[in-house]
Structure 1
């Protein structure tokens, strides 16, 4: 295949001149994310009956963050924040990239300086494999099944919009996990191809080829973006389903008051989905294990920063919500493991509330490029905390934005113990939420009406944050 020929040809060549920082000793980066992966779905945490032996092993070799979150738990906005280090109103990705939001310019700006642009300029080889979902569909729409309905979702990413990624085996968004589709590095818009293989397995195969082809004289950064366990839960190989056929779902629901009763729409949705969801998680785990093993076999693991995380979680029926895009823990909480044996001692970190988008400045700083971080970056540089385990008390933002009306939607804050959010419609606040997650871990009781002092405190903090980040929603919040 042409993309394989290109891969090995490019990998055989080295850049004649590297910047002073990107020398032989510079760390590699392998960034793996799995879409819609809940924060508690790791067997080493002991909270959900899921099997993840490979991720458990990676967690034992690195840092397992137990309080990682997604500040805007939806695919495109979360990815937009990750790539730019800016919050939605600044990076323009205020909602999912599709034909409904396209008229409002919702896509990753071509002139944004992403962390991948920085690494490319520092002499890194760069590769992207899997789901991208940062381009707005345009007519005539690409002829895939998810572009034939009322809303078009999928779009090709042209080379000039790939933000420094040389090697490209990717797609916009496409949820047929058992027959995924891709564009390779040189393919034009009308030349995608389908694969009769489960998406994560195919993507792991391509990642392993990429890793094996590295010349070890030039550092590399590789993103592997897997779609499962995104919806399409049933589209997973049968041998993973077999592992959960005897799971006692009612026992799982027994201590979860946020899961509706059996016989209700959302209660049944959870019960009908959870086994397949876990099957997807275990399948993702196995293929991540294959990628990590390839790093070890090729002598690259010790000086490679390996990140595993997700763009967001999913309620899957909890709180009467089948999806994400809400402030509940099932949606906001994500897994996060960072391994770098040469620099980081293994530990379980229960103290640091780190957000998906904080990885932009944090990773660049860890890799020695702190001075290259653009001034426009708004997210937190937590490199010192990641490397040393130093504690830092943070308040993280929460967003949900309407593409056509920025005066409608949610803004909020998440602290170590509280979740606070306000909703406005056309510039007027109509709902306020406050949950004490220490006393009420399942977020069943909105105590906003009982805590006026806390509401006042968080309101002031939120107003200050919105002003600091140039968010017009600040005009709605009255401190």
Structure 2
């Protein structure tokens, strides 16, 4: 009888709390999202690919647990434009972020518009808690410039993001752009423009500490019971490669760099670009290994907190890095080293692990793709121009575009610059200056994987074909560059 009595008592208690349990369960029908983006991470620099001698055990494990896209690109391989496309799902002419956000481009309105309908705005309206940690780089600096080292030269780079420009992100520990990785600076959620602070800690470690607090909901930093979306935007391995803790540098001290510099697209020793590569690549890898360790910490926290199964985790980059390859320091060019990016998507509850070398997915396609995966296909804004590839993530089949676009735009005259298409086999791009086509490139990446030979002159039929395809694409996206392709 005593056991029967307790049974009814516990049943009564359970029935009392059942409505609250049902509400909590209902609020988690949609997955959480953890979006990790490292800056300037070349697509082939992952240990499991066995292309470059970089140590990334945690990312290798993550790739084995989800879909690892090996043909992903950044369509405009520069920080602000890439981020603008990602946030808006629009190509640069529509997103308005047609160059890097700095004082030089500010007169041309180069920044994320406050009225833009970002994917974060969509999730906010669906009841998500939203957090942003790290590099933002989507606000134009204005005078008097914030007093940081990278605002004291000819061009000012860094700027505060006020609350009304954060597009739904309520938890905020971020900065515009700042490359002193060993003493980074941040604005927190309630800081004013002059209330930034410095941290004596490597940026990725500090940002991961804050991300872990967010996942554990320390001090109620997100609303309990709601699904959440957290962006962790890490600056390394961006330039400032050497600004990385020694423990990661030590891992590469015995690496025979010359052995790995036999690729024909790496200039010879003694060439300034070739020497830059040799002097930088060990630290570049050290940054990657350090970031990899932080990603492992985030994934482990998700598992410890019981969040792993129903959380979509994305790892990617805004663009790659030539680092002297092809005689180019940096990015902002059509070569694979600049355009190709890592992209790993995991969701244990729904995604079966596989490596995908075929899908032509671009960074900006993640806007509609993730919203569809999360159950919000019906509320994707009509102005989104990029492609929903959610079916390819789930099944490996379904729609994919024939080409990934390429952009490089001069903000002072937006019809100056480059437009191009990257297909399964070919990369094609055209440069226009003051209304005239001044350069055309065509690479056959199948026969010429290092893109050493421009074959456009001896292939006029291919050139004409790609011109027509590019013209069609530019017309579709209301890009006035199209007028020069007649």
Of 18, 33, 37, which residue of structure 2 is paired with 1:33?
37
- How far did residue 387 of structure 1 move? 1.0
Q: Is the 8 A contact 2:79 2:100 kept in 1?
A: yes
Long gaps (5+) in structure 2: 1-19
Across the aligned residues of Structure 1 and Structure 2, the Cα RMSD in angstroms comes to: 1.5
TM norm structure 1: 0.95
After superposition, what is the alpha-carbon deviation per residue over 1:295-333, rounded to whole angstroms, capped at 9, x for unaligned?
000000110000000000000000110110000000000
Which of 93, 102, 105 matches 1:101? Answer: 105
Q: Within 5 A, what are the aligned runs for 1:155-174?
A: 155-174=159-178
User: Which residue in 1 is equivalent to 2:384?
Assistant: 377
User: What's the CA shift for 1:19?
Assistant: 11
For the pair 1:178 / 2:186, whether they are aligned, the reply is no
C-alpha separation in 1, matches of 2:415 and 2:310: 46
Going from structure 1 to structure 2, the CA distance change for 1:22 and 1:350 (only over 3 Å counts) comes to farther
Separation of aligned partners in 2, 1:341 and 1:31: 15
C-alpha distance after superposition, 1:331-365 (max 9, x if no partner): 00000000000010000011101000000000000
SS in 1 for 2:372: helix
Q: Residue in 2 aligned with 1:423?
A: 431
Please name the residue that 2:57 is paired with. 53
Out of 318, 333, 341, the residue aligned to residue 334 of structure 1 is 341
SS of match in other structure, 1:292: helix
5+ residue gaps in structure 1?
1-15
Question: Partners of 2:377 and 2:415 in 1: how far apart?
Answer: 35
Question: Does the CA contact (< 8 Å) of 1:22 and 1:218 recur in 2?
Answer: no
In the alignment, which of 205, 223, 247 is matched to residue 209 of structure 2?
A: 205
Does residue 134 in structure 1 map to residue 151 in structure 2? no
Distance 1:20 1:388, change over 3 A: farther
Contact 1:21 1:368 in 2 (8 A): no
What SS does structure 2 have at the residue aligned with 1:295? Answer: helix
Kindly tell me: are residues 403 and 393 of structure 1, through their superposed partners in 2, closer, same or farther at Cα, counting changes over 3 Å? closer
Are the counterparts in 1 of residues 387 and 401 from structure 2 also a CA contact under 8 Å?
no
User: What is the aligned length?
Assistant: 461
| d(CA) in 2 for partners of 1:358, 1:420 | 20
Q: Does the CA-based 8 Å contact 2:74-2:339 persist in structure 1?
A: yes
**Per-residue deviation, 1:203:** 0.4
Counterpart position of 1:472: 480
> 2-side partners of 1:366 and 1:407: how far apart?
36
Aligned to 2:240: 232
Partner of 1:354: helix, strand, or coil?
coil
Answer yes or no: is 1:89 the counterpart of 2:93.
yes
Q: Which secondary structure state, in structure 1, belongs to the residue aligned with residue 86 of structure 2?
A: helix
Q: Secondary structure at the match of 1:448?
A: coil
2:257 matched residue in structure 1: 249
Distance in structure 2 (CA, Å) of the matches to 1:450 and 1:406: 30
How far does the alpha carbon of each residue in 1:179-224 deviate from its partner, in whole angstroms, 9 at most, with x for none? 0000000000000000000000000000000000166621000000
Q: Which residue of 1 aligns with 2:454?
A: 446
SS at match of 1:225: strand
